[in-house]
Amino acid sequence: MNELMVILGWLGVFAPVGLGAIGSAIGVTIAGQAAIGAMLETDSGYGRFVGVAAIPSSTVIYGIVVMFSLQRTITPENGAGLFGIGILTGLALAYTSVWQGKACASAIAASKSKPEIFGLSLAPAAIVEGFAVFTFVFALVLAGNIKG
């Protein structure tokens, strides 16, 4: 049982990076596909489409920081806490990345036809980013309470 808790602890330490990277890759792919489509249909504004497509990549950065905050000597006593924080943070980061990619794709699709709404169309993606930031901050707070 002690070995299992240590293994789970290690999974928890890496989960925010691994799951955050998976979610970021999916989110950037979704938004990137919309950006490529928009570039085929417009004569300018390519840079902003590419920039918006990269927005979901922020969650993997949050995952890296959380991983560093969870990094400590892993024991049977702290393994469950590390696992819980890491897995749930990773899942939340992955989930927000995917939905942020969809929000960015919608913003790209809307702004290719109506460029004047570009900034406003990013509001849903920014709101989703806020949920990722909440997860990030709370994970850092909780990580500070784990002994090790």
pTM (2 d.p.): 0.93
Neighbours of 137 (CB within 10 A): 12
CA proximity to 142, closest of 81, 67, 95, 101: 81
Answer yes or no: are the C-beta atoms of 75 and 6 closer than 8 Å. yes
Residue 135 burial (C-beta neighbours within 10 Å; 0-12, 13-18, 19+): buried
Map out the domains of the chain as residue ranges: 2-143
Please list the ranges in the chain whose pLDDT falls under 50: none
Residue 99: predicted pLDDT = 98
Answer yes or no: are the C-beta atoms of 80 and 148 closer than 8 Å. no
pLDDT tens-digit map of 20-44: 999 999 999 999 999 999 999 988 8
Q: What is the CATH number of domain 2-143?
A: 1.20.120.610
Polymer length of the chain: 148
Residue 45: predicted pLDDT = 81
